[in-house]
Structure 1
């Protein structure tokens, strides 16, 4: 089967095509989140030390892994353009170079995981028992990293050639396996020693290699994928430079997003545990809401890159427009649900009256935050289809770090603390000043980023049409 043939371009057709490709990506994202939920809930039934170790170690691992994963995602536009142009062997060669890149990044990631003490300097004095558990958990995840990153190359390949259900199926099948291995390793079943948090890390490593084995089996035995002649081949510096030129700013974008939420949580902690609890609910809801525009963005990026490769400007513009319409519609629907079901949503998270009261006030800003977040997300992903990644990184640094974090600190905790209080009183009455300021400045930064990225997207389209 070759690249999609040209059909009469209509927005309705590409809306359907984007939805068809986006929903498996969304299910895959939710399935990946299930791993962290399983680890956290099971750690809560072992010991307080295991739970704290899990919380700290996961934050370290995810920060590293998500940044490296972002670099690997450069494969999506590269493979997508090859596939759209009908360069089938080039698809296989690009995937092979991605495997070599994943191995190199795994080595770099492993080195950073060997020294958790450097990361935990921000957390004050850690109990020696907890530190030991963190260390062993991260050591186990070093074993997982090569498999996890190579599996992301399969994810990128499947997404770029419009076969996202492969990874979705593997992710779903892996959830019960992960739960079973967690139970065995953490609690000492089947004659194994009870390893606590370290057991969760070991089960993640085992499942990661199992997922990779399933993915490689599909690539070898599925006739659709055999047409690409998928082999690692030899590493080529020219191909690695292309991947890094696009992947490093993409990985930087992912890293900026993760670090922004991490440092927001550290600053909000100054206002006490009830405010921290309400902020954590906000952060978790924002992450869950983000999954939908992210899935639409990834689907739009792959379809747009295929159209670019096929030198079909009408299709490229329509797929980008379809993604924007879907992301905007989904964001408006999500925002309406957040407003309509606020009490029910909060009841699912907490029964503490103080946390509920504070979260109720902060949640007034979340629909606006999500709308702007969705718009900057879809514009970022569609720009990546055109191999434009540096400008989205710059915008995100300005939005999330400059306006969101630095501006939020200055206006919420720094010399100008309370300067935004009139606005906060109008939008989030009785909300804690520091947390409310951070969420408000983050929303403003995302709104500005979304606007500027949209303008840059139009500029990119104009230059493409002219050439």
Structure 2
């Protein structure tokens, strides 16, 4: 039987972990929200140009997002690698340098082919049965947006370093500044304010590219000048690469990238199916998905917390602390998504009104569909939060391959076919597609959670090296 002193000690340990997770999670979450605000601001500006522009811009945004998510997943291997290294308390400067150096190399190697493919976005969209006129208009956004990928990935590598050091405040400050820069540049370049040319969709993409460049340069200045980070000399010998180290990073990162992409492509497949159904459905879906993207940033932040805190504990060989870190992050992420579901269900118009004029007669069909889509989105908020944080917990243990396979089964063997069947065979249209999304996310959430339950039980049976 556990003594009162032992129970009090355990309670204090859980409380301390909760406090640590919130301290780390708050700036990470705000940073994630700041980043998604860049593309959200663009969509708001596009909505002011009209539902046609919103539909065209959402196609390019979704295609870009698919490539960005895969690339980000690949460089995200930096986080668990740094967390495990720093958790050993060795503060091995050379090892940290090597991880960052190969993170930058990975960003460069994945960006070049992505740029080539995205430049031909119009042909890709037409192959996917999209309206040729909408596809032609959408690439005016893509051809200025796509160049933001490399500086954004460089920013992600440096952000991962600061997060693993549990010092994410600078990333938040720079991301918040980038929101203001993106909004100002977008207002100037999209609508032609302050003497700038009215570039429309192209102006929105250019604003985000310049903002992403600012984010990378800003964090570079921080790690070069702040004494806490300067001693790691992250940019020294930047061209000294080792193929075995690169492969080690890719071996961990490729399953993460594929998992991210499998989930993202589910939503992109939904965009494509919506485009086949009709332009109103496409515009409504774009609004609903962008709102969901904002709420998702909170469990994504706690997923990053889980990876870091679990990885740090695993690095110092403290399995019970790793178990606590995982479950605390899980509870925080899923708990928030429960609150988000209530907002989606009871106040959809307040959210939709950010993107469209609610009293405009031409927008009523889009608004009605968006309300229905948000009602279904409320149903999968808990599942979306659970799968995101569970995947982060497993990444803290460098467990990435099995979660990739579980995502493949849940999203593509079950979720997407269900949505397509209901949409086109059962004539449920966009509602059927959203039911498919709910199905896929729920299945993956259950499978990943069960895998963590097994992993956490194994961790609990091991003796920690320190209390």
Q: Which residue pairs with 2:5 in the alignment?
A: none
1:244 to 238, 250, 253: 250
Q: Which residue pairs with 1:116 in the alignment?
A: 121
Q: Mapping of 1:325-336 within 5 angstroms?
A: 325-336=331-342
Q: Which residue pairs with 2:101 in the alignment?
A: 96
Q: Mapping of 1:242-391 within 5 angstroms?
A: 242-269=248-275, 271-342=277-348, 344-345=350-351, 351=358, 354-391=365-402
1:170 deviates by 0.5
Q: Secondary structure at the match of 2:399?
A: coil
Structure 1 residues 100 and 281: alpha-carbon distance in aligned structure 2, compared to 1, 3 A threshold: closer
- Structure 1 distance, partners of 2:366, 2:53, is 25
Q: Which residue pairs with 1:34 in the alignment?
A: 37
Aligned residues of 1:93 and 1:233 also touching (Cα < 8 A): no
Q: Which residue pairs with 1:12 in the alignment?
A: 15
Q: Secondary structure at the match of 2:132?
A: coil
For 1:396-447, what per-residue CA distance to the aligned partner results, in whole angstroms no more than 9, with x for missing partners?
Answer: 2222222111122224423xx27xxxxxxxxxxxxxx243333333323322
Q: Secondary structure at the match of 1:413?
A: helix
Q: Mapping of 1:429-448 within 5 angstroms?
A: 433-448=428-443
- In structure 2, the gaps of 5 or more residues are 1-8
Aligned residues of 2:299 and 2:337 also touching (Cα < 8 A): yes
1:105 to 100, 110, 120: 110
Aligned residues of 1:79 and 1:160 also touching (Cα < 8 A): yes
Q: Which residue pairs with 2:28 in the alignment?
A: 25
Q: Secondary structure at the match of 2:166?
A: coil
Aligned residues of 2:266 and 2:437 also touching (Cα < 8 A): no
- Structure 2 distance, partners of 1:461, 1:250, is 20
Structure 1 residues 413 and 384: alpha-carbon distance in aligned structure 2, compared to 1, 3 A threshold: same
- Structure 2 distance, partners of 1:347, 1:209, is 31
Aligned residues of 1:403 and 1:442 also touching (Cα < 8 A): no
Structure 1 residues 10 and 58: alpha-carbon distance in aligned structure 2, compared to 1, 3 A threshold: same
For 1:372-406, what per-residue CA distance to the aligned partner results, in whole angstroms no more than 9, with x for missing partners?
Answer: 11111111111011111122222222222221111
- Structure 1 distance, partners of 2:332, 2:250, is 30
Q: Which residue pairs with 1:422 in the alignment?
A: none
TM-score, reference length from structure 2: 0.85
Q: Secondary structure at the match of 2:89?
A: coil
**RMSD across aligned C-alpha pairs, in angstroms?**
3.0
Aligned residues of 2:64 and 2:146 also touching (Cα < 8 A): no
Structure 1 residues 355 and 108: alpha-carbon distance in aligned structure 2, compared to 1, 3 A threshold: closer
- Structure 2 distance, partners of 1:266, 1:127, is 15
Aligned residues of 2:58 and 2:286 also touching (Cα < 8 A): no
Aligned residues of 1:148 and 1:208 also touching (Cα < 8 A): yes
- In structure 1, the gaps of 5 or more residues are 1-6, 419-432
Q: How many residues align?
A: 443
Q: Secondary structure at the match of 2:178?
A: helix
Structure 1 residues 184 and 395: alpha-carbon distance in aligned structure 2, compared to 1, 3 A threshold: same
2:444 to 423, 435, 449: 449
Q: Which residue pairs with 1:226 in the alignment?
A: 230
1:209 deviates by 2.2
